Amino acid sequence: MAKTELIIIIDFGGQYCHLIARRIRENKVFSEILPYFAKTSEIDGFREKYDLKGIVFSGGPCSVYEKNSPAVSREFLEYVEKNNIPLLGICYGHQLIAHLMGGKVVPGGRKEYGITEISVDKKVGIFKGLSSKERVWMSHGDNVTDLSKGFEELAHSDNAPIAAYRKGDIYGIQFHPEVVHTVHGKEILKNFVYEVCKAKGNWEMGDFVKESVEKIKKKVGSGRALIALSGGVDSSTAAVLVSKAVGMNLTAVYVDTGLMRKNESESIEKTFTKGFDLNFKLVDAKERFFTALKGVTDPEKKRKTIGELFIRVFEEEAKKIKSDYLVQGTIYPDRIESGIQSAATIKSHHNVGGLPEKLGLSIIEPLADLYKDEVRIIAKKIGLPDEIANRHPFPGPGLAIRIIGEVNPESTRIVREADYIVREEIEKTGLDKDLWQYFAVLLPVKSVGVQGDARTYCNTIALRIVQSKDGMTANFAEMPWNLLEKISTRITNEIPEVNRVVYDLTHKPPGTIEWE
């Protein structure tokens, strides 16, 4: 049997490192991420197990000439050349290759962020089939200005004199092909995979299931595991994957925090007690969560508080069943926003940043390197019903982070009813299939209104409806005005405490999808 094809990504701390890996997998080639300090002996180990087709250097926040900036050795590059391994450097990786191989990298006269037009001077290799002008996503302050002997320039922009280069099968590009803003970024990466690396594409997402089950079996053995089952696609997929590995040694605990959507607890209990071979347990912890959140208004403290209490509840359940492992449905956007390696912390997620230092349980995160749409593919492959596999994201902290300010039973009831109306009306139209998330946010703002010929002074609800491919970036959705009007009318008519509805017209970035 032929070895599985592999492309290794070397991580220099860039926000989009795992997005590169995901794009490679989209081309039916398996990808693994290694830290920048990985040794060539580790590469040799992968070459024994896999058919190594190429290596990618990710972007990163540092400058190559900074002291202690992440870097591979010159010997690493010599190893790549000696073994004829194709190499692609992206952004910081582009600068690092040029720097280590005798080129010149200098601070740019003007930093370049956002969509930029580059001129493609030579339509070869990774640029095969592209136009002379391409719109790409730049994010850099330094520039490659000179190349050493043997390199040739492939593209430039107004602010980047050498936006792309190559030497044999070694390529460097200053921009990010992995993000959707680079118009033909997928084609560039596909060219690298198939034109440069000569891959055939022999890996499927189903292979991930087999590999994950084997890894979990090896790690857990005869131990017992506990999972926080929310009913969302992430935790449900993680639960089924682990149950395939350890069977009834997995206990799935659903915690009713009082912060869930309307009718959610009842629906989840019905689904998992009748449809799956799992040890399912519902824990009613509403009062504990509302007590812990009393007086808490800071978004990060709110998330941390919820995360801490989640873990405490699970620790209690773990002691009852003598669990050794805590399974979490963490996916990659959760980890990158919570801060990993050199990536900045944007916000903590309940199952990442909220973890106390002394947990007492070993963590298993079988989906930690995947994006939401990849998880949906796996969910269907392992037999989860469409209503779970296609379920829209819902934050771990629940409705608490859709209440700006203090969380209490009354504010939760208001936002829960508004959320139900938003979901019901959008799903009636079928537009939900084109959306990433849609929900209501309760603002700490009251305004004067007129309801029933009487003056009112009531709450404001913001509608957040976005489209996205992977949750890393998002655009606000251009919804039909008559639909927004219907939602607004229902909210102000059916929820007496609300007299005003507004629509959020903010992309990610600069905003995040959730308000907190």
Q: Active-site residue numbers?
A: 91, 176, 178
Longest dimension (CA), the chain: 82
Taking the CA atoms of the chain, what radius of gyration do you get in angstroms? 25
- CB 233 within 8 Å of CB 389: yes
Nearest Cα to 409, choosing from 348, 313, 497?
497
- Residues 6 or more apart whose Cβ sits within 8 Å of residue 72: 10, 36, 38, 57, 96, 100
What's the CA gap between 78 and 101, in Å, rounded?
10
SS3 sequence, 82-123? HCCCCEEEECHHHHHHHHHCCCEEEEEEEEEEEEEEEEECCC
Residue 112: both structure tokens together: 């370049």
- CB 231 within 8 Å of CB 264: yes
* DSSP-assigned states of every residue in 212-274: HHHHHHHHHTT--EEEE--SSHHHHHHHHHHHHHHGGGEEEEEEE-S-SPTTHHHHHHHHHHH
Nearest Cα to 396, choosing from 277, 228, 265, 147?
228
What are phi and psi for residue 238, nearest 5 degrees?
Answer: -60, -40
What's the CA gap between 432 and 345, in Å, rounded?
30
DSSP state of 183: T
DSSP state of 391: P
What's the CA gap between 341 and 183, in Å, rounded?
28
Which residue, chain included where needed, has tokens 């508080």?
305
What's the CA gap between 496 and 516, in Å, rounded?
25
What's the CA gap between 24 and 19, in Å, rounded?
9
Residue 101: both structure tokens together: 């191989």
- Residues 6 or more apart whose Cβ sits within 8 Å of residue 100: 71, 72, 74, 77
- CB 175 within 8 Å of CB 91: yes
Task: Name residue 48's beta-bridge partners.
Answer: none
Task: Report, in this order, helix, strand and coil percent for the chain, each rounded to 5.
Answer: 35, 25, 35
Residue 440, helix vs strand vs coil: strand
What's the CA gap between 212 and 394, in Å, rounded?
24
